[in-house]
Amino acid sequence: MHQLERVTNLLTLLLSARRHVTFDEIRNELRGQYPENLVAARAAFERDKSLLRDEGVPIDSVVLGGDQAGTTGYRILRSEYELGDIDLEPDEAAALRVAVSTIRMGQTWGVEALWKVDIEPGPARDGGAAPVVVANLPVDPRLPLLHRSLASRCEVSFDYNGKSREVRPFGLLARDGWWYLVGHDRSVDELRTFRVDRIAGEVEVGRSGAFTIPEGFDVSAVFPSDPKLLPDNVDMGADVAEVLVDASDVGVVMAQYGAGAVVSERADGSTVFAIPCSNVRAFDQWLLGFVDRAEVLSPPLLRQHVVDWLESIGARA
C-alpha cells in the first residue's frame, strides 16, 4: 500500500475518532495497511505521524488510564484541525491574490495559503498573466517560527554572534533587504536587534503567553531608517560626514539624500553633501561604491580612516 493512502486513512480515522485511540486500535482498524511485524509497524506509524505533524496536522496525544493505563492515545480535534471561516469578500480575496503574486519570497507558502483561505466559490483566477510589479522579499526558514512566537508571545532562544540569547520577540521588521527580530534580550536585560539570517542554527521556542509587549512599542521607530545611522562604537568625531561628489554622480546622491543634504556646490558641478556616518562600516560601503568619484572631506578622523583602508589594500598586494 502506498504511504499516501495509508496516511490519508489514518487521518480520516483520527479525525473521526470520538475518543483517543491507541496504536493497537489504529492497527486493527487499518488492518493490512501496517506491516505484520510489530517493530516495523510501529516504525511506519511513527513515520506517518511525523509526516502529518510536519504538515501542520495537530495530533493530540495523551497517556491513557484505566484498563489502557500507560498506553498512548491519539486523536485529532476537528476544531484544532480546521481553518475557521474567514469570509473574504470578493474584493478582499482578489487583493490577497494580487499581494501574494506581487510579493515573492522564493517559496510556495503564499500560494498554498491562498488555496486554503480563498476557498469560497468565486470567479476563476485571473488568466495567469504575470504582474508587472514584483517585489522579492528575502526569506529565512526560521521566519515563520519567529513570527508564530511573536504572535503567541513565546520566548525564543538561539545563538547569535557566538553567544546564547534568550529573547522576548517584540517585532519583526523587513528593511533594506534583510529581516530583523527586535526584542528584549534577557541575557543582557536590554532591547536588542538581531538580523535573522545571522542567527546560528535552530530557534528554540518556549511556552506561549510568557510576556507582554510594552504599550506603544513601534518596531520601526526603534530602528534607525538609514544603516549609516546605526551606531557601531567607532568614534569618528562626528555623526555626519562632508563628502565631495563628482558632478557625474551628483544626481544619484541627490536621489538618495535630497537637496537638503547639499552643503555647497562647486563651479565644476561637483557637490559637497552631508552624509550620516554613525555606522562607519555602512558608510564605507556606501562611499567606496563611488570608487574615485567621491572623497571624504571631514571629519578628519574619518578621512584618515578611509586613507588607511585604501592603503591596507595596496600594502597587502
Partner 1 sequence: MTRRGPRPVNLRLRRLLVMLPWLAERGTVSTTAMAEHFAMTVPDLMADLTLASLCGVSQDPRDLIDLWVDEEAVHFGIPKYFNRPLRLTAPEAFSLVASATAARNLTGSDLGGALNRAVDKVARALGIDDVDRLVVELETPAAVADFARAAEAGVEVTISHWSVTTGDSVERRIVPAEVFMESDHWYVRALDLGVGAERTFRLDRIESHQVGQTRHDVDLGPRRPWFSDPVETTRVTIEMDPAWMWVLEQYPGVTIDEVTTPRPQGWVSVSMPVSSERWLQRLLLRLGSHARVRAPESWTDLASDTARLVLTRYGKK
- For partner 1, the binding residues in 197-216 under the rule CB under 8 A are 197, 213
Applying CB under 8 A, among 72, 107, 164, 187 the residue interacting with partner 1 is 107
Residue 246 dihedral angles phi and psi, to the nearest 5°: -60, 155
Applying CB under 8 A, among 66, 177, 209, 214 the residue interacting with partner 1 is 177
Closest approach of partner 1 to the CB of residue 70, in Å: 26
Binding residues for partner 1, total number by CB under 8 A? 111
Applying CB under 8 A, among 44, 203, 277, 306 the residue interacting with partner 1 is 306
Cell digits of residue 249 = 554622480
Single-letter amino acid code for the residue at 16: S
Residue 66 dihedral angles phi and psi, to the nearest 5°: 60, -140
Confirm or reject binding of residue 261 to partner 1 (CB under 8 A): no
Residue closer to partner 1 (CB basis): 93 or 241: 93
Cβ atoms of residues 153 and 211 within 8 Å: yes
Applying CB under 8 A, among 41, 145, 262, 301 the residue interacting with partner 1 is 145
Q: If we measure between CA atoms, which residue out of 205, 222, 204, 203 comes closest to residue 213?
A: 222
Using CB under 8 A as the binding rule, the residues of this chain from 75 to 104 that contact partner 1 are 80-89, 91-96, 98-100, 102-103
Confirm or reject binding of residue 116 to partner 1 (CB under 8 A): yes
Cell 517559496, residue?
A: 107
Single-letter amino acid code for the residue at 93: A
Residue closer to partner 1 (CB basis): 149 or 278: 149
Task: Specify the stretch interacting with partner 1 by CB under 8 A; choose among 38-46, 113-121, 160-168, 232-240.
Answer: 113-121
Measure the CA–CA gap between 149 and 221, rounded to whole angstroms. 21
Residue closer to partner 1 (CB basis): 65 or 198: 198
DSSP class of 176: T
Q: If we measure between CA atoms, which residue out of 223, 133, 106, 216 comes closest to residue 175?
A: 223
Cβ atoms of residues 140 and 178 within 8 Å: no
Assign 43 to helix, strand or coil.
Answer: helix
Confirm or reject binding of residue 189 to partner 1 (CB under 8 A): no
Confirm or reject binding of residue 230 to partner 1 (CB under 8 A): no
Residue closer to partner 1 (CB basis): 7 or 240: 7
Using CB under 8 A as the binding rule, the residues of this chain from 234 to 253 that contact partner 1 are 246, 248-249, 251-252
Cβ atoms of residues 286 and 273 within 8 Å: no
Confirm or reject binding of residue 134 to partner 1 (CB under 8 A): yes
Q: If we measure between CA atoms, which residue out of 6, 5, 73, 9 comes closest to residue 44?
A: 6
Letters for 26-65 (x = contact with partner 1 by CB under 8 A, - = none) are ---x---------------------xx-xxxxx-------
